[in-house]
Structure 1
Amino acid sequence: MDAAVTEIHIGKVEDIEIRLLLEALYVRYHYDFRNYAMASIKRRLKQAREQLGFSTYSALQENLLHDPSALPRLLDYLTVQVSEMFRDPAYFKAIREQVIPHLLTYPSLKVWIAGCSGGEELYSMAILFREEGLEERTIFYATDINQDALAIAERGIYDLDRIQLFTENHRKSGGKSSLSEYYTAAYGRATFDKTLRRNVVFSDHSLVTDAVFGEMNLVSCRNVMIYFDRSLQDRAIGLFKDSLPRNGFLGLGSKESIRFSSHAKSFKEFVREEKIYQRTD
């Protein structure tokens, strides 16, 4: 068997191992990554296998099945935890200038930050709503499938060397104050004011397996669905549709769209450039 044939054979075996690993993860722990984009899953599982010290995906699966403490370590690789405050400032500027005027007409509001990761987008939205006078009437729901990420979000502590970028993003988003008003700095860390999360509910929620849990005025889910395959994207958009009343708003990431979804007719483009939609039906 020549080298090329051997490589193909190994690749096919690894594909089988990966599918069995994902099935085991679902059956044992109810985390469902089976319909995530396979290229992305393979890349992240390869990194996990190598850095956790397993020679095969089957060995990684055996460890996962018999040692529950292996689950959080694997989830750190499978869930993307890279974000920043006021990421894509134009998105937040559009929320501030075009969505907020509509939300101001409501006596109370619910905002869902789906896939909140380490909390950067949550704090961005909480600060924006405070600056626009809406914080007191708003409940924020920050959800993720990764419990460790939720714990980081709930602490609201970030490395100080990230703050310069956060500050510049905040300024570009139309910030009406200095970002420094919202955190205290010490020992190389910035700790965000705990009052920013007094109206926040942190919760474990999966867009893959869980149902709608409330009616929201705004759903912001950015750079999560790019890791889903088409059927899973459609399921997530259906969840968002069912979470929004007529005239509710949905914000997606810059590389995401509802164009090919079976639910597309339930929305209109509200700010096309920033992937902000409004439910119409």
Structure 2
Amino acid sequence: MVELLQGAVNQVAPETEELEIALLLEALLQRYGFDFRGFERAAVRRRLHGAMRQRGLATVSALQERVLHQPQAGTALLRALGVAPAAMFDDADEARQLRALLGPCLRASAVPKVWLAECAGAEQAWTLAILLLEQQLHSRTEIFASVASEQALAEVGDAGFPAARLAEYEANYRRGGGKARFADYFEVSGERAALLPALRRRINWAQYNLVTDASCNEFQLIVCRRALPDYGPLLRQRVLQLFHDSLARFGVLGLDRALRDDEPLAANYQAIAPPQAWYKRIA
């Protein structure tokens, strides 16, 4: 059945499907207020095809009909087009880099602030909270974790994971340089595990749209490595300008890829962990 539906998708003329996608993205903006028009079209098309297969739909137009007339379908599609949820310590390179950077980046500030922009769910924020604790920075550091949709915000309010995954997550933690007893950071109730309340309290969740919203605070560290690959060139520059406006001088910015020398803001940043894309703002 999946193969038949995939074939039906492939039979649509490319120019016709491109028009359908443009109309759907406009519909999402007008109906729900979310603007995906500046996203990389290949990434959008791939996720739309996934949503179509899941619902047994052959065309983007059929998906648009569902989205416009069934609010739950619209909410589900917004979630599918957003950042995929992360797992605890699933990016070992990022965890090791943060271990090295958190102290030099944050210790000089009385109340340092970290922004996880377009956060990939509760487990990404929980990973950062553990890293801050292990660097003895947790008690005075504010974590601001922003997500674009109401659904994503609702999901983090009652977040948890199957306790059976603790061993898997501990293996991730070890690969990221962790040396403590990982299970001590969690409370287990039945078959569910969640980060200790004392660690969760330092995480401030907010709905915030990188595409449309303005700078909201000044931060010593901004991390956005999972959403940026989906942004087209113009949108990417808009978001990088937003981060520049929100980052304190000598603050650190974590991106998905290296800044090119010809990018407008590149001269304001110094690479601090090449070849990884971590930068200090110097101007």
**Aligned residue type for 1:216:** F
Could you say which residue in structure 2 is the equivalent of 1:193?
Answer: 196
Could you say which residue in structure 1 is the equivalent of 2:47?
Answer: 44
Alignment of 1:171-186 (within 5 A): 171-186=174-189
Superposed CA RMSD:
2.0
What is the number of residues matched between the two proteins? 273
Could you say which residue in structure 2 is the equivalent of 1:237?
Answer: 240
1:268 aligns with 2:270: yes
**CA gap 1:90/1:62 in 2 versus in 1, 3 angstroms:** closer
Alignment of 1:60-79 (within 5 A): 60-79=63-82
Using the size of structure 2 for normalisation, the TM-score is: 0.89
Alignment of 1:50-61 (within 5 A): 50-61=53-64
**1:176 positional shift:** 4.5
- C-alpha distance in 2, partners of 1:62/1:9? 17
Using the size of structure 1 for normalisation, the TM-score is: 0.89
**Aligned residue type for 1:233:** R
Q: Secondary structure of the equivalent of 1:245?
A: strand
Contact 1:26 1:32 in 2 (8 A): yes
- C-alpha distance in 2, partners of 1:250/1:207? 15
**1:154 positional shift:** 3.0
Could you say which residue in structure 2 is the equivalent of 1:227?
Answer: 230
Alignment of 1:74-153 (within 5 A): 74-153=77-156
Percent identical = 35
5+ long unaligned stretches in structure 1: 1-6
**Aligned residue type for 1:258:** L
1:10 aligns with 2:30: no
- C-alpha distance in 2, partners of 1:176/1:109? 25
Return 26-35 or 85-94, whichever deviates more: 85-94
Contact 1:25 1:31 in 2 (8 A): yes
- C-alpha distance in 1, partners of 2:80/2:97? 32
- C-alpha distance in 2, partners of 1:189/1:152? 15
Deviation string for 1:188-209 (max 9, x for gaps)? 3322212222122111111111
**Aligned residue type for 1:116:** C
**CA gap 1:163/1:222 in 2 versus in 1, 3 angstroms:** farther
**1:233 positional shift:** 1.2
Could you say which residue in structure 2 is the equivalent of 1:3?
Answer: none
Q: Secondary structure of the equivalent of 2:46?
A: helix
Contact 1:129 1:135 in 2 (8 A): yes
Contact 2:105 2:252 in 1 (8 A): no
Contact 2:162 2:191 in 1 (8 A): yes
Contact 1:115 1:224 in 2 (8 A): yes
Deviation string for 1:123-176 (max 9, x for gaps)? 111111112111111111111113333333333301334333321222233335
